[in-house]
Amino acid sequence: MPSLSSFSASSISGDSVELSRYQGQVALIVNVASQCGFTPQYRGLEALYLEYRDQGFTVLGFPCDQFGHQEPGTEAEILDFCTTKYAVSFPLFAKIDVNGAGAHPLYQWLKEEKSGVLGTQAIKWNFTKFLVGRDGQVLKRYGSSTAPDELRSDIQQALAAPSA
């Protein structure tokens, strides 16, 4: 059975990252964009990361330019924007596709595990979020309009659950 540990991705600096490095942690996986109405959610995501990282929580940000061309920059520009404007310190990855034939395998799996509204699999917009438990399995999916602060209870529950 696949889990978060089954995948790898390129970091925003171009290094290959085995996602097994997050095994045993609770992860919030988010497709992000720098020029979106939801971009201020970076503040809330960073706040969650800082608050819970010592308890085994991480946020994994995956820039995506599939929605309204709202992530047009290079990886270097994205990293500069995120660290300068929002002081992001959680892991960021290279730009990926989350929908279509070129969708990253991680997102193919996430969408299969937790469908969206009315059973749709496709990611509808930037800042869709997936909460993954310590066992590497997808617990919940949240739409773009769900503010990071609204996830606290679910994150706390996931952190309190025993790892498999």
Q: Where are the domains of the chain?
A: 4-160
Catalytic annotation, pick one of 28, 36, 78, 98 = 36
Residue 14: pLDDT over 70: yes
Return the structure tokens found at 84.
């300068």
Would you list the DSSP string of 53-102?
GGGTEEEEEEE---STT---S-HHHHHHHHHHHH---S-BB---B-SSTT
CB 90 within 8 A of CB 58: yes
Residue 160 phi, psi dihedral angles, 5° rounding: -80, -20
Q: Which residues contact 121 (CB under 8 A, 6 or more apart)?
A: 111, 112, 115
Q: Which residues pair with 158 in a beta bridge?
A: none
Q: At what angle do helices 41-52 and 75-86 cross, to 10 degrees?
A: 80
36 belongs to the catalytic site:
yes
For residues 2-20, average pLDDT = 96
Please name which of 57, 53, 61, 58 lies closest in space to residue 106, comparing C-alpha atoms: 61
pLDDT tens-place string over residues 29-46: 999 999 999 999 999 999
pLDDT more than 70, % of the chain: 98
Dump pLDDT digits (tens) for 75-94: 999 999 999 999 999 999 99
pLDDT band (50, 70, 90) for residue 163: low
Contact 21, 7 (CB under 8 A): no
Residue 164 predicted with pLDDT over 60: no
- Is the predicted pLDDT of residue 118 greater than 90, yes or no? no
Q: In terms of CATH architecture, what is 4-160?
A: 3-Layer(aba) Sandwich (3.40)
